[in-house]
Amino acid sequence: MAPKSDDILRKRIINLLEENNWNQSELSKKSGLENSKISKIFSGTRKVSAAELDNFAKIFNVSSDYLLGKTNKRHYYDLTEKDKKGIDKELEDMMNGLDSKHSLSFFQNGQELSDEDKELLKVSMRQTLELSKQLAKRKFTPKKYRNGEK
């Protein structure tokens, strides 16, 4: 039997509390809910309203669909495995191009880049590619696919 959305919601909130090193009292302060209401949500004796769900999503910087277990992506613009594989392929092509005589060797006044320099460049390029992919998703994803996020 599949877990109920209330169970998933409760587990995700608890995990996010742990990730942020927060306790129930801190969540109570941040959400404006009484500590007793937070305790009842955690014990499963109280449901979360739509407004509270939106508030929790904002507090934890995740989508409400993530909290409800409808997706494992915290945001609609998070990279998928397909995105990551595409970035890996693009990065591999770029790194293979470094060995060419007409490559980015100009960084070292015509000398070959050291393995350490290549690794630093690879890390930097990966971050740039990932960020540009996320920014493109944020800019070009139609609103109806944004799971309520702006």
CB atoms within 10 A of CB 10: 18
pTM above 0.85? no
- CATH class as words, domain 5-68: mainly alpha
Kindly state the greatest CA–CA separation across the chain. 69
Rounded CA separation 36/24 (Å):
9
pLDDT value, residue 1? 40
**Predicted pLDDT of residue 18:** 93
Per-residue confidence of the chain (150 residues) as pLDDT tens digits?
445 767 889 999 999 999 999 998 999 999 999 999 989 988 888 888 999 999 999 999 888 888 998 888 887 777 888 989 999 999 888 888 776 665 555 455 666 777 888 888 889 989 999 888 888 887 887 777 665 666
Instruction: Output the pLDDT for position 101.
Output: 61
SS3 category, 142: coil
Contacts of 25 (CB under 8 A, 6+ apart): 35
What does the domain layout of the chain look like in residue ranges? 5-68, 81-145
